């Protein structure tokens, strides 16, 4: 499931800018940019949306990592109810 989600995310983040670049002519883009070099408003909105989505995904991953570390730390401190100070071990070897 994680591999499929990773592939879907990579394809969507790679195909959206590629498809928008294919549909835009170079001369129209240069005319739109003018002297400022900012580009079309649609491209700026798409770029901003991708940046916001990337930052949101980073925050979600950071929060999930923090919760995982906290849960692991709490699991390490749980008393299992097993006393190992008087444990006896044995080994058995099978004949060849």
**pLDDT tens per residue, range 21-64:** 776 666 766 666 555 555 566 777 888 888 899 999 999 999 99
Q: Does the residue 16 lie in any domain?
A: yes
Q: Does the residue 15 lie in any domain?
A: yes
Q: Does the residue 81 lie in any domain?
A: no
Q: Does the residue 55 lie in any domain?
A: yes
The whole-angstrom separation of Cα 24 and Cα 17 is 11
Q: Are 50 and 16 in contact (CB under 8 A)?
A: yes
Q: Are 10 and 18 in contact (CB under 8 A)?
A: no
Range of the structural domain that residue 7 is part of:
2-76
Residue 92: how many CB atoms within 10 A of its CB?
Answer: 4
What is the per-residue pLDDT for 72? 95
Q: Are 30 and 53 in contact (CB under 8 A)?
A: no
Q: Give me the number of domains the chain comprises.
A: 1
């Amino acid at each position: 499931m994680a591999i499929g989600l990773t592939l879907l995310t990579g394809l969507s983040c790679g195909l959206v800018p590629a498809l928008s670049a294919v549909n835009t002519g170079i001369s129209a883009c240069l005319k739109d940019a003018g002297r400022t070099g900012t580009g079309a408003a649609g491209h700026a909105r798409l770029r901003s949306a991708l940046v916001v989505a990337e930052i949101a995904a980073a925050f979600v991953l950071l929060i999930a990592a923090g919760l995982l570390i906290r849960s692991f730390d709490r699991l390490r401190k749980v008393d299992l109810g097993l006393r190992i100070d008087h444990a006896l071990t044995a080994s058995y070897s099978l004949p060849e």
